[in-house]
Amino acid sequence: MAFLYKSRLENPGAELRRIIKEKEIIVAPGVFSPSVALLAESMGFDAVYLSGAALTGLLAMPDLGIITLTELAMMTKYITNVISIPLIVDADTGFGEAINVQRTIRELEDAGAAAVQIEDQVLPKKCGHLAGKKLVPPEEMVKKIIAATEARRKDILIVARTDARAIEGLEGAIERARMYVEAGADIIFPEALRSLEEFKEFARALPNVPLLANMTEFGKTPYLTVEQFKEAGFKIVIFPVTSFRMAMGAARTAFETILKHGTQKPLIDNAVPVKIMTRREFYDLIGYYTYETVDKSIAEKAENLLSSRRGE
């Protein structure tokens, strides 16, 4: 049905809770536009995921937490206006401290999100599968989770992501996850686990807690199947950037074909294979490493200024 003539979910959080309870496992592909979300729904997916990496990629920006809450809320609303399945929204670090997180929850709740994901990285955050991540103290993340749960007016779910595996090890990630559950998180998302056994161990340590797994490309996690995640004890599996990377690969193929042949006919005839765009290729395209260089330069200049004032 055309979106102008269909109703949004009245309580998307409640719908997500229902399918978590009823389904053995939920596959939520990453979407980055309303039309892609509508396509996912039409193909039978029970939920979809608005990835921060995909949204920033759509805007030709790096996944460093530099988009705004306004941009995220706008895309959330655009997507939830056209679908009748729950949307899980990646809100990075929550756009600030505890009070800011409360506004984030309210804005995304009003925009139709079924769940909001917040992570425990320090800004500027990084893709969870890259080196150089830094974590906030667990008590800071706990405050954000409490703030999020107290801000919601409906039944929106709070997804707590921990990036601790790469820094504090698996046990550190598990301990943080337990604290986040005690603070009120509804779903736990352990990022960048490195083997099927790690996923199983994580699930054994947090029984009866819905767990979310990230099956991204080119990352630390091996390519596991949905069935393997289900057997490991996970409830939700996201494929956050797959559709975006394939779309970029398809666009590149289309442009190459037009340049080479002067016509799009080989595309129509399915004579040209499409290759996914890798993370590195996309980062090169948008100049990702320039952002890191500029950020490092600013930090060095600030440190030099402070050192000179201290007489060092």
- pLDDT tens digits along 173-228: 999 999 999 999 999 999 999 999 999 999 999 999 999 999 999 999 999 999 99
Using pLDDT thresholds of 50, 70 and 90, give the confidence band for residue 291: confident
**209 plus 79 within the same structural domain:** yes
**82 plus 219 within the same structural domain:** yes
**156 plus 274 within the same structural domain:** no
Domain termination site, one of 213, 240, 267: 240
Q: Do the beta carbons of residue 76 and residue 112 sit within 8 Å?
A: yes
**161 plus 300 within the same structural domain:** no
**147 plus 275 within the same structural domain:** no
**206 plus 282 within the same structural domain:** no
Domain termination site, one of 192, 220, 240: 240
Residue 248 has pLDDT above 90, yes or no: yes
**122 plus 199 within the same structural domain:** yes
The pLDDT of residue 182 is 98
**129 plus 272 within the same structural domain:** no
Taking the model in full, what pTM does it have?
Answer: 0.93
Segment 238-263 mean pLDDT: 97
CATH number, domain with residue 22: 3.20.20.60
Segment 243-253 mean pLDDT: 97
Domain count, the chain: 2
Q: Burial, 227: exposed, middle or buried (Cβ in 10 Å; 0-12, 13-18, 19+)? A: exposed
Segment 64-70 mean pLDDT: 92
Domain termination site, one of 220, 240, 260: 240
The pLDDT of residue 298 is 85
Higher-confidence residue of 210 and 289: namely 210
**126 plus 234 within the same structural domain:** yes
Segment 253-282 mean pLDDT: 95
Using pLDDT thresholds of 50, 70 and 90, give the confidence band for residue 129: low
Higher-confidence residue of 159 and 6: namely 159
Span 86-110, pLDDT tens digits? 999 999 999 999 999 999 999 999 9
Interior CA angle at 68 toward 289 and 7, to 5°?
Answer: 125
d(CA 161, CA 189): 4
**7 plus 138 within the same structural domain:** yes
Segment 286-312 mean pLDDT: 84
Residue 4 has pLDDT above 80, yes or no: no
**198 plus 301 within the same structural domain:** no
Residue 267 has pLDDT above 70, yes or no: yes
The pLDDT of residue 253 is 97
Q: What is the mean pLDDT of the chain?
A: 94
DSSP state of 5: G
Domain of 80 in residue numbering reads as 3-240
For residue 293, give both structure tokens. 């260089």
% pLDDT > 70, the chain: 97
Burial 140-178, CB ≥16 within 10 A → b, else e:
ebbbbbbbbbebbeebbbbbbbbbbbbebebebbbbbbe
The pLDDT of residue 214 is 98
The pLDDT of residue 109 is 97
Q: Which of 299, 289, 297 is nearest to 62 (CA)?
A: 289
